[in-house]
Amino acid sequence: MGLRTDFYGQFTFDHPLTAEHRTILEEFAEEEHEEEPGETGKPPTVYCQWKPTADGRGLEWDGVEKFYYYDEWLEYLIAHFLKPWGYILSGDVQYNGWTEEVHGTIGVVDNEVTVTRASGTVPQNWKDIIYGRDGTGSADKSNDW
């Protein structure tokens, strides 16, 4: 049993992915990376769960549970694909763990990744806050957690 964490939002590129780059990243996200994960220069774990958005303008979580080392995966993708290809990634994604008080924001500014873990407990209405009360998915970024 592991910690399930959900992610809300997406990171955006400074310009859309080419069709070739989008295909490479989609295929990479589907592969199992068993070549000694976690060692220097190798993927951090077996599964990368960041995938290109449908329009190729950003990266988003693939929705599969138990995504570990999500910040290290962003750093890996930036170092091995995005930066060499000339892309700059930016944006904020909220995260929330289901079984523990793990929540906060993953921020990327000009390919630099930071993770801010919020203090305190997650409000009972956290899904309303993230998704917006009307269910449209527009996040209320005024929260303090």
**pTM tops 0.85:** no
What is the C-alpha to C-alpha distance for residues 17 and 29, in angstroms, rounded to an integer?
Answer: 15
Per-residue pLDDT, 141: 46
Listed in sequence order, the residues at least 6 apart from 85 whose beta carbon sits closer than 8 Å to its beta carbon are: 21
Residue 49 Rama label (left phi>0; alpha psi -120 to 50; beta): alpha
Per-residue pLDDT, 128: 56
* 8 Å CB contact between 77 and 17: no
What is the C-alpha to C-alpha distance for residues 4 and 121, in angstroms, rounded to an integer?
Answer: 16
Low-confidence ranges of the chain (pLDDT < 50): 134-145
- Residue ranges with strand state E in 38-88: 50-52, 58-61
